[in-house]
Structure 1
Amino acid sequence: MAATTASALLPVFIALPLIVSAITALSPAKKVNDALSILIPLVNLAGGIWLYAYTAEHGPISHVLGKYQAGVGISLAADQFSAIMLVTTMIVAVTANWFAITAGETQARYYTPLTLVLITGVSGALLAADLFNFFVMIEVMLMPSYGLIAMTGTRHRLLSARTFVLVNLAASTLLVIGVGYLYGVCGAVNIAALRGAAAGNGPVTVAAGLVVIAIAAKAGVFPVHTWLPRTYPSTSAAVMGLFSGLHTKVAVYMLYRIWVVIFDMDARWNTIIIVFMVISMLIGGFAGLTESTMRRVLAYQMVNGMPFILIMLAFTQGGENARYALAAGLLYTLHHMITVGALVLNVGAIEETYGTGTLSKLPGIARRAPLPSAVFVAGALSLVGFPPFSGIFGKVTIVLAAAKPGDWRSWVVITAIIVASFGALLSMMRMWKMVFWGRPMQHYPHALNVQWKFLLPSLTLMLISLAMFVFAGQLWDATTGAADALLNVDAYSAAVLGADPVGVPDTASIQGGQR
């Protein structure tokens, strides 16, 4: 397939779910809407697999909407890094929507169109080649999210939705201010055009720093993390599963891209990154010990997982070191998306059956529901980093990437990883003891058990986690290829900007503090 034909398909990833969302909003046929809520992310999933294979062979591709010249029009770009993220987000979207159908979530009139608009924003954010359009796609993600998180209209959900809206509006405001400041300083917001601009240039660093802080708030890392465990568990399990694999991981994608391209992996920020990420992983590891519901415990495991991913940015100096650290962070990202999604949907299956997620009200589930209990154990083992699931390789590669002889920061990071993992283990053991172990339930009929239809989505994700362990070599090759693509800024810039871009400032002038 010619490169121009392949690149012309990039807008389809955004247009298809957006168009179908409008159709489902008007259609009264629930079964058709349910089928489309599964089919559309499956199409984007298949497209993401094709995109990864194509860019692995031919390099990055880009498309400028409206046939404007590079640097002027709305640019979309894809490489192996964006493609592998697109594939994994769509896997989570398929299983979350599958669970929503079985749990009756799609009875709500606009559930399906809202999820499809969310998928539109996710796909667009992963393909956006400039920061302003990334901001636009983030807002496309957030608008349906406001509706999804408050779908039932209960008081508790509306209060959580208010927190979610306020935090994300504040972060979005900071994001657009940072993007505007970047344009004022550099005359461009195209990521490739800003190559290396924040390395050693004060005004550009401040502007890019505002963008990073805003995205970090959306990722839920310390010190702007408390909103996540307060809001995600308040919505339905299907929506929380959807958010867990999409919202925060889009933020991870862009933070990686900005760090490599715009900050040029500036080593002066390494200590700051390490300090904030170490604190964040320790909070996430142990804060779940104080929670009273299953999904709030899991929400803190989301807070715990993000710094494991982002701390790899502090170990990207040196050619092979950068490659290994980024591949390790990406591997852990994929594992975390699949594993947390499986745990959330598994807990959702239990909640659908027994009508509660409160730890103290659900003793002895292991005796009457061994399969959901086994899925929980598998997810917990994967999350903590035990075989035979994907978490073991994610944790090992991160530790190896952080191990630098003679660097005291390596010892701090590795110690924090071990301690935070121990905290996560304690949280999972506490949940096991209170929910799955203990004396048999007395206040539920013995025949009441978790149905297969509720369990299959989470079981599917755990089987994927198992496959990630079995085929770890192939997965590592894929993440290494994605890391290589991320580091190949020359190829990315050539694809996005073309041979003779218009309206793109000279990078050397930016770095020298001139326009």
Structure 2
Amino acid sequence: MDYVLPLFVGIPLALVAVAAIAPWRVLRDALALITPIGTGAAGVWLFAYVSEHGTIAHSVGKYVGGVAIPFVGDHFSAIMIITCSVVAFASNWFAIVVGETRSRFYSSLSLMLLTGVMGALLTADLFNFFVFIEVMLLPSYGLMAMTGTWARLSAGRTFVLVNLATSTLLLIGVAIVYGVVGAVNIAALAGAAAGNGPVTVAMGIVVVAMVVKAGIFPVHTWLPRSYPATSSSVMGLFSSMHTKVAVYMLMRIYVVIFDLDTRWIWLIITICILSMIVGAFSGLGESAMRRVLAYQMVNGMPMILVVLAFASHNAKTVIAAGILYALHHMITVGSLILTSGSVEETYGTDKMSKLSGIAHRDPWVAAVFAAGAFSVVGFPPFSGLWGKVFLILGIADSASWQAWLVIAIIILASFGAFLSMLRLWREVYWGAPMNPQRIPESLRVPWLRLAPGAFLIVVSFGMFLFAGPLVSATNDASESLLDVNSYSTAVLHQGEDAPVGVATNTTLQGGR
């Protein structure tokens, strides 16, 4: 069944063409919803299939492993596909409700972004990963231009410039890796950066590019400046796709290519600690709702990646905790963005100084936002509780003073997130009612606008309620990520007769 893997990219790509030429808005809207439902269902099938049969891989054209264009599916990629699809569905749903899909090419561009994400999560080749990153970026530029106001477009230039520079840096890093090793296949590079200076430097360039895309300190400032410069639906897409694809590849690279090299533990801890503190408290100085939420993304990324510093001890448990937190963060931040977007679309602004007393006018909106705030901080009964608890338990398992330092910073960062959410609540949802001469008393957030954010918070509640199966799934994802031998065997077809005898795995790795 490995031949199914290219269809994760091929079918959404074909639907992009259909959406681009479809003259009927209802058809384009239907495709914008059906496609992420389809990719999510395919992700569920992939997770179930690899649970029974193990990691699967497909080489396009049946070329030999290491030379072919490879797609590989395991629990880790499957669970990320499912979660990305859920948030993409909710974001496109919100776009339809608020009328953004009146722009003819909105649906096709959002589906092209989803296509790039599918490819990036399934590819086993660094150069093809770069290609799929470009497939993600091109529609992102269009979405930002299409949904941003003139004032927003000036900030959107930051997104374009940073991502162009990052893509160039990524391509340079991949080219140097190929020049040093003679391969860019991730499986062929297994362990290559552990103790090999030239490969480490080359892969370091790739890692820096991914750190920029993930919005990690000190290269994070572009994210809270540019993401809120587009619409809420597009910000929801970006929050679950661009940053999380970068986090996915950073985890894959560090486990497979760096072989959990302990030389970088202190660097990982230092950068993640600083990023947590900056992300947690910088939001206190912002004046717009979605800029506050953008800093929660800066706060959340290092909480996912810091687990790599403790993977030398009980790697399966601690990396599973990081994956669980990533899933929670995608769902929760997506809900907060879309809920804030419903307020912005209804009242015409996301400036906190111009909003007040929303809880009195729209108690259900306030309830959904409060639930999202509880989740992002780590309160029950939402996914954030298990995300924080298992993250702290996984790190504490190493029983080192570095672990206690990181745990203390996680608690401090959670307190900073709590203060940011409390300030936003006080300014926007609490307080005196707004001036009825400026905002009509009859104006309310329509149910349809609130529904996408509420849907995601229900998913978060479900993740809390069914924590057992969720933890089991993340343990499977962690185990598949750490099982480098199965990954390499599936991708490189070791022990099989390749129909095209271009090279062998031994030849490819001879450049070490």
TM over 0.5: yes
> How far apart, CA to CA, are the structure 2 residues paired with 1:315 and 1:467?
29
Aligned residues of 2:188 and 2:508 also touching (Cα < 8 A): no
Which residue does the alignment assign to 1:42? 37
> How far apart, CA to CA, are the structure 2 residues paired with 1:499 and 1:460?
45
Which residue does the alignment assign to 1:503? 503
For residue 507 of structure 1, report the CA deviation from its aligned partner: 9.1
For residue 153 of structure 1, report the CA deviation from its aligned partner: 5.5
> How far apart, CA to CA, are the structure 2 residues paired with 1:412 and 1:452?
44
Aligned residues of 1:195 and 1:507 also touching (Cα < 8 A): no
Which residue does the alignment assign to 1:323? 316
For residue 307 of structure 1, report the CA deviation from its aligned partner: 0.3
> How far apart, CA to CA, are the structure 2 residues paired with 1:359 and 1:425?
17
Which residue does the alignment assign to 2:416? 423
Trace 1:147-226 onto structure 2 (pairs within 5 A). 147-152=142-147, 154-226=149-221
Which residue does the alignment assign to 1:122? 117
For residue 41 of structure 1, report the CA deviation from its aligned partner: 1.0
Letter in 1 for 2:85: M
- Give the secondary-structure state (helix, strand or coil) at the position aligned to 2:61: helix
C-alpha spacing 1:22/1:409, structure 2 compared with 1 (3 Å) = same
Which residue does the alignment assign to 2:340? 347
C-alpha spacing 1:395/1:153, structure 2 compared with 1 (3 Å) = closer
Aligned residues of 1:187 and 1:505 also touching (Cα < 8 A): no
In the alignment, structure 1 segments of 5+ residues that lack a partner are: 1-5
For residue 347 of structure 1, report the CA deviation from its aligned partner: 0.4
Which residue does the alignment assign to 1:110? 105
Trace 1:299-338 onto structure 2 (pairs within 5 A). 299-318=294-313, 321-338=314-331
Query: Quick check: 1:247 aligned with 2:242?
Result: yes
Which residue does the alignment assign to 1:292? 287
Letter in 1 for 2:119: G
Aligned residues of 1:27 and 1:33 also touching (Cα < 8 A): yes
Query: Quick check: 1:394 aligned with 2:390?
Result: no
> How far apart, CA to CA, are the structure 2 residues paired with 1:7 and 1:405?
38
For residue 152 of structure 1, report the CA deviation from its aligned partner: 3.9
> How far apart, CA to CA, are the structure 1 residues paired with 2:323 and 2:59?
27
> How far apart, CA to CA, are the structure 2 residues paired with 1:405 and 1:312?
11
% same residue: 59
- Give the secondary-structure state (helix, strand or coil) at the position aligned to 1:71: coil
C-alpha spacing 1:381/1:193, structure 2 compared with 1 (3 Å) = same
Aligned residues of 1:70 and 1:497 also touching (Cα < 8 A): yes
Which residue does the alignment assign to 2:253? 258
- Give the secondary-structure state (helix, strand or coil) at the position aligned to 2:344: helix
Which residue does the alignment assign to 1:14? 9
> How far apart, CA to CA, are the structure 1 residues paired with 2:509 and 2:303?
36
C-alpha spacing 1:285/1:507, structure 2 compared with 1 (3 Å) = farther
For residue 26 of structure 1, report the CA deviation from its aligned partner: 1.1
- Give the secondary-structure state (helix, strand or coil) at the position aligned to 1:224: coil
Which residue does the alignment assign to 2:430? 437
* Cα RMSD (Å): 1.3
Aligned residues of 1:67 and 1:73 also touching (Cα < 8 A): yes
TM-score by length of 2: 0.97
> Structure 1, residues 82-109: CA drift from partner, whole Å, max 9, x if none?
0000000000000000000000000112
C-alpha spacing 1:339/1:153, structure 2 compared with 1 (3 Å) = closer
> How far apart, CA to CA, are the structure 2 residues paired with 1:168 and 1:283?
22
C-alpha spacing 1:444/1:507, structure 2 compared with 1 (3 Å) = farther
Which residue does the alignment assign to 2:73? 78
C-alpha spacing 1:405/1:84, structure 2 compared with 1 (3 Å) = closer
Query: Quick check: 1:476 aligned with 2:476?
Result: no
> Structure 1, residues 30-57: CA drift from partner, whole Å, max 9, x if none?
0000000000111111000000000011
> How far apart, CA to CA, are the structure 2 residues paired with 1:112 and 1:237?
15
For residue 505 of structure 1, report the CA deviation from its aligned partner: 4.9
- Give the secondary-structure state (helix, strand or coil) at the position aligned to 1:150: helix
Aligned residues of 2:334 and 2:453 also touching (Cα < 8 A): yes
> How far apart, CA to CA, are the structure 2 residues paired with 1:223 and 1:506?
39
Aligned residues of 1:148 and 1:239 also touching (Cα < 8 A): yes
Aligned residues of 2:492 and 2:505 also touching (Cα < 8 A): no
Trace 1:61-72 onto structure 2 (pairs within 5 A). 61-72=56-67
- Find 1:412's aligned residue among 397, 405, 411: 405
> Structure 1, residues 459-507: CA drift from partner, whole Å, max 9, x if none?
0000000000000011000000010111111111111000257535549
Which residue does the alignment assign to 1:3? none
Trace 1:355-370 onto structure 2 (pairs within 5 A). 355-370=348-363
In the alignment, structure 2 segments of 5+ residues that lack a partner are: none
> How far apart, CA to CA, are the structure 1 residues paired with 2:307 and 2:164?
28
Aligned residues of 1:64 and 1:75 also touching (Cα < 8 A): yes
Q: How many residues align?
A: 505
- Find 1:132's aligned residue among 111, 127, 131: 127
> How far apart, CA to CA, are the structure 2 residues paired with 1:154 and 1:99?
18
> How far apart, CA to CA, are the structure 1 residues paired with 2:414 and 2:76?
27
Which residue does the alignment assign to 2:94? 99
Aligned residues of 1:274 and 1:314 also touching (Cα < 8 A): yes
Which residue does the alignment assign to 1:488? 483
> How far apart, CA to CA, are the structure 2 residues paired with 1:355 and 1:174?
39
- Give the secondary-structure state (helix, strand or coil) at the position aligned to 1:63: strand
- Find 1:27's aligned residue among 22, 44, 56: 22
C-alpha spacing 1:404/1:469, structure 2 compared with 1 (3 Å) = closer
- Find 1:274's aligned residue among 269, 274, 279: 269
